[in-house]
Structure 1
Amino acid sequence: MQDSPVQLLLVEDNPMHRELIMKLLGDDPQLRCEVEAVGNLADGLTRLVKQGVDLVLLDLVLPDSEELETLFRVRLVAPQVPVVVLTSLDDVKLAARAVESGAYDYLVKSHLKSVSLGRAIRYTLSRARARGGEWDSPMFRLAQQQFLKAAQYMGLDDNLRQRLLFPQRTQMVSFPFFRDDRAQVETVFGYRVQHLLSMGPTKGGIRYHEDVDLGEVAALAMWMTWKCALMKLPFGGAKGGVRVDPTTLSDRELQRLTRRYTTEIIDIIGPDKDIPAPDLGTDERVMAWLMDTYSQQVGHTVPAVVTGKPVVLGGSLGRKEATGRGLVYLIEASARHLGLQLSGATAVVQGFGNVGSHAARFLAERGVKIIGVGDASTALHDEAGLSVEALTAYADEHRRLQGFPAPEIVDHDELLELDCDILVLAALQNQVTVENAARLECRLLAEGANGPTTLEADDILQERGIFVLPDILGNAGGVTVSYFEWVQGMQNLMWSLDEIHERLQAILLDAFQRTLTRAEAQHLDMRTAALIEGISRVTEAKLMRGIFP
């Protein structure tokens, strides 16, 4: 669950310069890195051969190499590792030749500051990722593998299989925004992916995270297509994101970033085109800024351009907690199927953001004892039961669970392996893998996150008789209430909270029953059955619309 720090290799022979650079790196609060320093090129090349280096900070003049020869030798050994040159040689021609030869940046030591060094490293890593395999994402590979498995069971026509394997429309942008001091300009990468345009407007959230890439956004858009089809919503799947750490931004910086990103994608969004919503790192306030920016451009207020916005601006009652509430509706249905009495059952919740915290709260209200909870900062265990109310209050105040007074602190891996009736995955992708699937001790695995279980782990869980509530079903409450919000916005009316809860439960339970019926009739796991339900509906729509021209 914890993001790994950037692994830097500093090749610098001057001890004073080495110490200065290390201090500058440590002074940048936005840069989480581990630095390994060597004093000559030979040692640097030896380290690169071992791999595991994300970026090289390279002095050109070393005891065993000089100027561009130094860069050439590094590039020869590790052509995929980005290099930032740090040198005392303030030579414009040399700088130009270094960049032409593959250096990502050229910084003169006498001009070096913490801000400029940190920004160069962050932007170099973003560029390297963009230049490298943007599509080559573990999450996108997982989404494609899941689709191909379902397509094989369905006997899906090869033309449709190839057509649905990649998004229909992709926009990738890079754009600047001012820092608060107005002296710094940061450039970041943004994305908007529309997987399917055949079912109506596209729908999907926008996430702000430092690891966002095209493959991740494409995977999420694909899953959103199947999710909307499974729920019988008139949407295709979409997703967006900006590669930035929102926790390092002030409110003013966050607003400037959001408004600029909105202008970059404004031509492909709209209430009849593509409707964004909150996701990881974004919230109703971000949606309000997006709505306002769009409305300013078109000349009138357009509430239906986004969902998940504040109620006072046309948002829907019940939207914030919809994913967590929907997940618990489905856990109730799964428990009935399994003959599991919720009152007195035990649960572990991985992730305590919007989805996890609300799921924990609604489970506790139904008499479930929450014996384990974790977020990125820590994992807590109390066999007697943790107070969800106290956890929520602590997380609201501290923005993390670290420091909460719990009887036992466990490793993140141990949290998933605690003996419980219900395991809720509401954090990140790839949490249950072939390495730990055999050690899970739950009866019901409920996925509130996207892609938390690998394909190989699915097979192990099915063999062990663990009932899996898959993500495209389990976390569909959010997009379902987003649909309600969109309908209310387009019709200029407001539903009561009771109406929303009733409609949400009816749609989710209908999808659950269809999935379960298919799984039992065709001897499938729940994920494959849910995917086939969604893909079948998309296939029918594609065939009915035909091909133009």
Structure 2
Amino acid sequence: MADKPVTVLLVEDNPLYTRLIQRLLSQSKRPVFEVVAVDHLAAALQRLAPGGIDVVLLDLMLPDSEALDTFYRIRAQALDIPIVIQSALDDVSLAGKAVESGAQDFLLKERINETSLIRSIRYAIERTRARGAEWSSAMFRLAQQQFLKAAHIVGLDDNIRQRLLFPERSQIATLPFRRDEQAQVETVFAYRVQHVLAMGPTKGGIRYHQDVNLGEVAALSMWMTWKCALMNLPFGGAKGGVRIDPSGLTSGELQRLTRRYALEFIGIIGPDKDIPAPDMGTSEQVMAWIMDTYSQHVGYSVPSVVTGKPIVLGGSLGRNEATGRGLVYLIEEACRHLAVDLAKSTAVVQGFGNVGMHAAAFLAECGVKVVAVSDVSTAIYNPAGLPIAELRDYVREHQLLAGSPFGEEIGNREMLALPCDILAPCALQNQITAENVGQLACRILAEGANGPTTLEADEILSERGIFVLPDILGNAGGVIVSYFEWVQGLQNLMWPLEEVNARLRDILTNAFRRTLQRVQEKKVDMRTAAMIEALHRVESAKRLRGLFP
């Protein structure tokens, strides 16, 4: 489950330089590099054929090829792979022509060091991805497919259907921020996407992750639109992100990056425009920095510019655990609907971050036997039930589940196939697919993550009679309590935790019952029913506001 290493094809006939590159890349911890070294063009072409190469480091002068012909032949074999030229001082003009022809960068051999080498490789990969695959995202395709299926069933007006297929506003920035070594300035891609502007201010989190792209952020903003509409919240959907691994940043670097992000997007965020919140890789501290940056810009404190911030700065009680708590509220409703005794049930929770950890804890409080949990490091299985409180303490001390003494370590695929009453995917997207859905042995699939189930798997789940709490319903607890936080900030009023939780349960229960009603009316699955319920509200808002001018 660890992060995939970056595979570098090093094409270089000088053994001294080859060893230098291997040594410099071996010192990197994030990312981890695997170097495949060859010294002839023919060997390079042969290695490229089966795939699996992320970037090519290419010397243009080789025993069996010279000059630009070397680049052109590599390029023809690897059209979608970034190429970085390695150049001696007397070959700079040649390297420049290679860049003009499509190479991502060139490095002077005489000046190579660990920082410049790793940064050049990373930027080459980032630029290639940005150029060719921003909208080409599996998540975005899934979000569009789900929408189109529901739109077809309800006969959505084609003008509105076309309008909702893509976000109304997308902004991309390249953010510079200083590393702790002040001479080193890092540049990363950043995004803010607003899907629907007709419903009120837009609302959505900001995630810091190395795989963030425009398509992923667009998908998440679209799901947030349906989520807010399903919950009857006065928001359109939005999402933001930065393509970076935050675990490799110091606190100072994280703060400088965050403040730069807030500054770049300050024109389109605000308590009456677009309200960010935490997501994967961000936290209440990140929200505090965004609030402070925005407040410094306007000249006075504006707590409602973000939600999910610390309580002392106007955050809401119950916000941190709201998504996991809300998921369990819905599991309780599903069990009542299916006549399942929750207190005698078993559960498997994929993901032990904020959502999964709280969901597992609240399930345990309800008497559920949680037999397996997982994170990026491993999955832990104990048929007698896991001690969630002890696991939570272990992770807070060691950061990861790996090595915990409370159960057997198993693989993610094996964990998803465990017999249980409740399976809660609370990690990443595309976990339940056509390939593994037949192995699921659960009664209820409760989606705490965004987009964990593919459209093909949805149809099989329905055929198998597995009851699905779809993501736009199942993980809506976070945005509901974010709405409460926004309202409390505007009113300068703090609600007690009991009131927050009671209101959260009421909104989720109401949405659950309306979705079930749509299931019965339209004879569709829960996900499609939830989408239809959300679409009805968005379509009404679009029609009533009309088109300007």
Compute the TM-score of the two structures, normalised by the length of structure 1: 0.99
Distance 2:263 2:254 in 1: 14
Read off the aligned partner of 2:271 and give its amino acid letter: P
Are residues 1:332 and 2:343 paired? no
SS in 2 for 1:95: helix
The answer for the alignment partner of 1:502 in structure 2 is: 502
| Alignment gaps of 5+ in structure 2 | none
- For residues 183 and 29 of structure 1, do their structure 2 counterparts lie closer, same or farther at Cα, with a shift above 3 Å needed? farther
Q: Quick check: 2:325–2:359 contact (8 Å CA) kept in 1?
A: yes
Report the alpha carbon displacement of residue 95 of structure 1 after superposing the two structures with TM: 3.2
Report the alpha carbon displacement of residue 515 of structure 1 after superposing the two structures with TM: 0.3
Are residues 1:21 and 2:35 paired? no
The answer for the alignment partner of 2:522 in structure 1 is: 522
Q: Quick check: 1:25–1:31 contact (8 Å CA) kept in 2?
A: no
CA deviation profile, 1:504-542 (whole Å, cap 9, x unmatched): 000000000000111122211000000000011000000
Q: Which moved more, 1:29-38 or 1:452-461?
A: 29-38
Q: Quick check: 1:28–1:115 contact (8 Å CA) kept in 2?
A: no
The answer for the alignment partner of 1:9 in structure 2 is: 9
Report the alpha carbon displacement of residue 81 of structure 1 after superposing the two structures with TM: 1.1
Distance 1:421 1:362 in 2: 16
Distance 1:267 1:511 in 2: 34
Distance 1:537 1:515 in 2: 13
Q: Quick check: 1:61–1:87 contact (8 Å CA) kept in 2?
A: no
Report the alpha carbon displacement of residue 18 of structure 1 after superposing the two structures with TM: 1.6
The answer for the alignment partner of 1:230 in structure 2 is: 230
Report the alpha carbon displacement of residue 35 of structure 1 after superposing the two structures with TM: 2.2
Q: Which moved more, 1:116-125 or 1:328-337?
A: 116-125
Report the alpha carbon displacement of residue 183 of structure 1 after superposing the two structures with TM: 2.2
Distance 1:231 1:538 in 2: 12
Number of corresponding residues = 549
Q: Quick check: 1:422–1:443 contact (8 Å CA) kept in 2?
A: yes
Q: Quick check: 1:342–1:368 contact (8 Å CA) kept in 2?
A: yes
Q: Which moved more, 1:399-408 or 1:506-515?
A: 399-408
The answer for the alignment partner of 1:132 in structure 2 is: 132
Report the alpha carbon displacement of residue 194 of structure 1 after superposing the two structures with TM: 0.1
Distance 1:138 1:2 in 2: 21
Are residues 1:45 and 2:45 paired? yes
Read off the aligned partner of 1:392 and give its amino acid letter: R
Over aligned residue pairs, what C-alpha RMSD do you find?
1.0
Read off the aligned partner of 1:87 and give its amino acid letter: S
The answer for the alignment partner of 1:438 in structure 2 is: 438
Map 1:361-440 to 2 at 5 A. 361-440=361-440
Report the alpha carbon displacement of residue 90 of structure 1 after superposing the two structures with TM: 4.7
Report the alpha carbon displacement of residue 34 of structure 1 after superposing the two structures with TM: 2.3
Read off the aligned partner of 1:174 and give its amino acid letter: T
Distance 2:330 2:75 in 1: 53
The answer for the alignment partner of 1:205 in structure 2 is: 205
Report the alpha carbon displacement of residue 2 of structure 1 after superposing the two structures with TM: 4.4
Q: Quick check: 1:324–1:358 contact (8 Å CA) kept in 2?
A: yes
Q: Quick check: 1:191–1:214 contact (8 Å CA) kept in 2?
A: yes
CA deviation profile, 1:224-274 (whole Å, cap 9, x unmatched): 000000000000000000000000000000000000011110000000000
CA deviation profile, 1:161-186 (whole Å, cap 9, x unmatched): 10000000000000211110112111
SS in 2 for 1:267: coil
Distance 2:507 2:546 in 1: 28
SS in 1 for 2:342: coil
Distance 2:295 2:91 in 1: 49
Distance 1:342 1:26 in 2: 51
Report the alpha carbon displacement of residue 222 of structure 1 after superposing the two structures with TM: 0.1
Q: Which moved more, 1:108-117 or 1:352-361?
A: 108-117
Q: Which moved more, 1:338-347 or 1:84-93?
A: 84-93
Distance 1:163 1:69 in 2: 47
Distance 1:176 1:275 in 2: 23
Q: Which moved more, 1:361-370 or 1:39-48?
A: 39-48
Are residues 1:121 and 2:118 paired? no
Distance 1:512 1:13 in 2: 65
SS in 1 for 2:423: strand
Distance 2:536 2:506 in 1: 21
CA deviation profile, 1:354-378 (whole Å, cap 9, x unmatched): 0000000000000001100100000
Q: Quick check: 2:387–2:406 contact (8 Å CA) kept in 1?
A: no
The answer for the alignment partner of 2:195 in structure 1 is: 195
Q: Quick check: 1:422–1:442 contact (8 Å CA) kept in 2?
A: yes
Distance 2:109 2:386 in 1: 53
CA deviation profile, 1:53-73 (whole Å, cap 9, x unmatched): 221111111111112221121
Q: Quick check: 1:197–1:236 contact (8 Å CA) kept in 2?
A: yes
The answer for the alignment partner of 1:452 in structure 2 is: 452
Read off the aligned partner of 1:542 and give its amino acid letter: K
Report the alpha carbon displacement of residue 399 of structure 1 after superposing the two structures with TM: 1.1
Distance 2:233 2:187 in 1: 36
CA deviation profile, 1:80-106 (whole Å, cap 9, x unmatched): 211011233454423322211211111
Distance 2:407 2:354 in 1: 24
Read off the aligned partner of 2:452 and give its amino acid letter: P
